[in-house]
A and B are shown apart, each in its own frame.
Chain A
């Protein structure tokens, strides 16, 4: 008995017998990834991209690229307490632009999700709702967001409302359509099983339609937040008084090119972060989905 347990202990000495959780899990994954080429390739890719950018604008000063600020010029201004062209991480207006854009995105995304997800769920679930709403949705959807700009300015007062309307509209279509497809993708046997088990229609909606559509919904939301940024910037360029889109187009108008590039890169990072946040919320809500995918090695 003692020998057996001792043997087990020796065998297990220094071995992990339970899976790490929380931060330890991320650390473990990070350590594991260092032994694969993945992180090095990522760093190399970024380096190559920056080098090309530098070479075109500052190294070789290729014709027409010489008017564009290169990485060194951008970085110098971006991280300078006294930026030559007015925008850096030390100036208040930089954060104001980010804040205004983020607030608009938050409102627009919340509105689009709040309307789009329930609408999509009902459209997927009920033939009748689908017949009412689908043709209108499909007609409005292909209209580019820029075509809505004049109407938005006519319909809404001030700077804020039209911009939010445009951002909402674009992501609303994406969210609704993905949610509807999500419901339609649910296997018929889940509905049948729920019926067999004595569910009311409302039970089926709560316990089959909503959770079953969730993976599609969150795929849709990730696309939709990207689309929201896309249309927000377009809207800010046309009608706006603050925000990253406004910063970009305003800098261009005033012939200061460095803030233009700073605005673009910031936009990329902020958009990426919001998309990651949506993914985190989705994974947290869909433990079952994450676990099933993890077992498939994804």
Chain B
């Protein structure tokens, strides 16, 4: 199975209900329907998300782009089950996550989050971090989980760093380990909240390559929040541009650049056209957000 080309894997994913060779259960279609979220800090109603709908096909890399503080993270928190929603519904593979009668989704290992500032437990080594999920879910014994953790870390190029604490490795490495920690649980959806925000451009490009490589291997559905337009087009199948607060879908751009993508794709004509298209839509919202001058909600 490992010798398969990307196309063959795609084909296998589409036809066999067991998914690809990684044994990942097929699925991960997210439906966000008319979702609204009203916060109530100190008695003032703040509408963070307003009537936002988007459909994310299973196995798609979906990039969410919008001005800072517009409510993108609120949307992610609702999917992950950290926050409730006020109206609308969110479905994963046609199963209700949250909606009428169930404002807050329950947290589960089918939706794994990679946090903006990184949330590897600093008191556990990288391997212990990765092995944590299967152990607490009682899916594997400690020994099995650790063996798999070392194996998966090695796949991500972190083979020699399994015994290091997150504080001892670079931010790029710890972010990669965090994605491995998510993937070991075989999630249907990977939720990334500006994971590469604090990184320099060089590290970022390495992280992009590694994420693309991981995606080609697992075909997990990716819900990726970012500000970086180049990143959005380079990584995504679809780029959803959302409005400034309250957040709702403004425009969806299909990225037609074929996979596997390399850094040469960045200088292609198609890339430049897409960049202009996205930029125009985002810039409008950025100006609005700036004029509103509201303080970003966390």
- Interface stretch of the complex, out of B132-140, B240-248, B257-265: B132-140
Per-residue contact bits, chain A 182-202, to B (CB 8 Å; 1 contact, 0 not): 000001011011111111100
Nearest residue, chain A, Cβ from B116: A189
Nearest residue, chain B, Cβ from A287: B165
Judged by a CB distance under 8 angstroms, whether B39 is at the interface is: no
Per-residue contact bits, chain A 280-298, to B (CB 8 Å; 1 contact, 0 not): 0000001111011001000
Q: In the bound complex, how far is the Cα of B223 from the Cα of A6, in angstroms?
A: 53
Interface size class of B (residues with CB under 8 A): 20 to 34
B165 touches A197 (CB 8 A): no
B132 touches A189 (CB 8 A): no
Number of residues in A with C-beta < 8 Å to the partner? 25
Task: Name the interface residues of A174-231: CB closer than 8 Å to any CB of B.
Answer: 187, 189-190, 192-200, 203, 207-208, 211-212, 214
A199, A214, A295: the one within 8 Å of B136 (CB): A199
Q: Which residues of A contact B168 (CB under 8 A)?
A: 291-292, 295
Q: Which residues of B contact A193 (CB under 8 A)?
A: 113, 115, 119-121
Q: Which residues of B contact A198 (CB under 8 A)?
A: 108-109, 133, 136-137, 185
A196 touches B111 (CB 8 A): yes
Task: Name the interface residues of B90-129: CB closer than 8 Å to any CB of A.
Answer: 107-109, 111-113, 115-117, 119-125
Q: In the bound complex, how far is the Cα of B121 from the Cα of A214, in angstroms?
A: 13
Contact residues of B: prevailing secondary structure? loop
Q: In the bound complex, how far is the Cα of B166 from the Cα of A212, in angstroms?
A: 14
Q: Which residues of B contact A187 (CB under 8 A)?
A: 117, 119
Q: Which residues of B contact A295 (CB under 8 A)?
A: 167-168
Q: How far is the CB of A216 from chain B (nearest CB, A)?
A: 13
A residues with CB within 8 A of B? 187, 189-190, 192-200, 203, 207-208, 211-212, 214, 286-289, 291-292, 295
B residues with CB within 8 A of A? 80-82, 107-109, 111-113, 115-117, 119-125, 132-133, 136-137, 165-168, 181-182, 185
Given A189-B119, A194-B121, A203-B136, 13 more contacts at CB 8 Å? A190-B119, A190-B121, A192-B80, A196-B80, A196-B107, A197-B132, A197-B137, A212-B123, A214-B123, A288-B124, A288-B125, A288-B166, A289-B123
**A-B pairs with beta carbons under 8 Å apart, 11 shown:** A192-B80, A193-B121, A198-B108, A207-B132, A214-B123, A286-B123, A287-B165, A288-B122, A288-B167, A292-B122, A292-B167
